[in-house]
Chains A and B, each alone.
Chain A
């Protein structure tokens, strides 16, 4: 058990190193930050000076080495555009993204599990079919279109919800939360819903498939034979068994969720990491881009570790196999 955790931690470290190398090397080719930093009327010598100052003239290995050395000390450099430490900039934006993704994941799970169970149990009914088809519409439209349509209806036409931002924030240490105020909850509703849609469709289908699978197993047949009620069979046994794959998939979807958050955050001007990332892409703010990818990698590793541990908790059989 402990050995297993240590092994996963080491694997996580390797993954982080790989992510670091990939993001750093890809980003070194992204474009010339000097061109976006200085206006067109800046003289050439000023450009050369800045290039030297940013270390852009050093060979790749030197830059990667320096980057790793500093990254290990928690220093990811200064943002080119805002002249502020990247770690600080990311830390400022982290709460917004975490709150958005967590609320949307919870929203997706809370809605998807009952829908998945319903469509599995009442497989041939019109209601189930309608639900299955309707859920597909959610993944058949790009997130940004769904987002702006929500704004059109709920902000512009009805005037119920704010069209952008996080609403009123409460500061707890370095963390800022919008979940402590009504305006914060109003603000998060639309972004979280549009982000949840994709997850919801996948999760619901997964729950349905796993339920159907589960209901066929001998274990369930046996439970039925023992005379347990349908209700008990469905929820105590079949549903419980579906949770393992569902938890896994949700863990694996973290990367996708964060990637789609870039789109959602852009549409709703949600001040999170995704918005920061897309802005830094357009200004070629290399330190911010690298840091974003590193943080996404870290979140991914941590969530997967948590999923691993959760596994052990949900499914005792794994103790033996590991």
Chain B
């Protein structure tokens, strides 16, 4: 107890001496999950990264609206062909005192490449050349205009520290594997240092007053807690035990807002919910006619059926009732805030039951059909409830969607085996560019192209446009290609876009926070008054 008080005072004294922030503050925040590891290259998972990013810095940073900003690299430029040159910041030190150099960048890229979950961003890197201590050249197999953006996901680790602690490569988890030091310890260059790590319970961070950047917030000590049960999490906020929860349940928002001590911060998340429809199989899976016989033909191959589904779903009511207003209707393969998004294109079919029924009859499916509807029950905001509401709406046009609501691991494995012909999914752009979505979501399925195209829509013209984007550097030409691909997918209803999910942070009234649409709580942007 005493120790903590002393620490706090010391930090406060230090900050006053430095003429820094108003007053030292402790900050406690929570959500349903826990970072799975502190190893910066082991898991590409939202929450895990959001904690790691307090401790580690990336080569290229992201600003408050996810725009690329200098971080450990102060500038970067394409030096011809497939090579990018990064100029590194000088005088940066790791938390344990080591100097940051180009060797550390080279090491981190190499460490992240084999077998890691970041390989999608790094696998095409063919050569990393250390020019001098603070300059590095990165070459890819083909020209990659998006490389700086991809490297904005890669945390930089100190090479000597990793070698010293036997953490040169990402931890194995096989039978003969052993835990590596970097799983529970961290040594980054970031604005906060790791103080205590109790996996599955808490992670304690303290402010790094030697950070190279400016930390405008006043949080000197932060604790992240995992609180799995939603009502318990809300209770912890209501009773004042935590300052902020990252995933406030929608139904509790009115109560939280009505309390004078609490407030809610809302914003869009980079995640679109959509319904995928099998357009590949001749006979869809888990689909039956009125007599219980498997369907002889695949209705989703008919554009009119896809249009009917689109017209039958009332997204506005869905957002209003099931999501309690926390969502934005979506119509295209892009998300507001992403490079390449165009609000003029963002139109979706209107709710029109008569038209939907007419289209069904026209397509010869007036009698309807029954189909399994794959849906997770712990992945997206109110996922199961959204699915049930959609099923009820589709019942109006005689499509009996049987909601198969499963935990996320089962859901993921079924998707990957494409053991479904009708499913809901929430997609994000991992490197924050519309291109990510265009490529992984709807290109003809030949991973990494069409990696998450489980409906297997395929369109040659679309593929050509996205292929051209892979190496097109000219911004104006890129915009044209984005538009063409987006329009093609929209007009053929490649899949049915529903809405962009919203983020809701609930917090005490005295907390000022900046909500970024990647749902990372950045402690440097938190001020406790």
Contact = CB atoms under 8 A, between A and B. Distances in A.
B195 to A, nearest CB: 16
A282 B407 CA distance: 7
A151 B225 contact: no
A80 B173 contact: yes
Contacts of B448: 41, 43
Interface stretch (A49-57, A99-107, A114-122, A204-212): A49-57
Interface residues of A, number: 59
Contact of B378 (A70, A93, A267, A282): A282
Contacts, number: 154
Interface in A1-57: 31-44, 46-47, 49-50, 53-55
B44 interface: yes
* Size class of the contact patch on chain B: 35 or more
A44 B447 contact: yes
Interface string A117-152: 000000000000000000000000000000010011
Contacts of A83: 37, 39, 42, 171-173, 177, 179-180, 183
B216 interface: no
Contacts of B228: 266, 269, 275, 278-279
A38 B36 CA distance: 12
B413 A41 contact: no
Contact of A156 (B201, B238, B407): B238
B273 to A, nearest CB: 14
A82 B36 contact: yes
Contacts of B45: 39
Nearest to B123: A43
B119 A43 contact: yes
B152 interface: no
Interface string A271-304: 1000110110011100000000000000000000
A155 B37 CA distance: 31
Contacts of A36: 408-409, 412-413
Given A35-B412, A55-B175, A83-B42, A43 B451 contact: yes
A163 B451 CA distance: 42
Contact of A32 (B119, B409, B430): B409
26 contacts: A35-B409, A36-B408, A39-B44, A41-B451, A46-B115, A78-B173, A78-B178, A78-B179, A79-B173, A83-B37, A83-B172, A83-B177, A83-B179, A83-B180, A151-B231, A155-B241, A156-B235, A156-B239, A159-B239, A163-B241, A164-B232, A267-B232, A275-B200, A279-B200, A282-B409, A283-B409
Interface of A: 31-44, 46-47, 49-50, 53-55, 66, 70, 77-85, 88-89, 92-93, 148, 151-152, 155-156, 159, 162-165, 168, 266-269, 271, 275-276, 278-279, 282-284
Given A41-B452, A84-B183, A163-B241, 20 more contacts: A31-B410, A35-B416, A54-B175, A78-B172, A78-B173, A78-B179, A79-B173, A83-B37, A83-B173, A84-B179, A84-B199, A148-B235, A151-B231, A159-B239, A163-B236, A266-B228, A268-B232, A269-B229, A271-B200, A282-B408
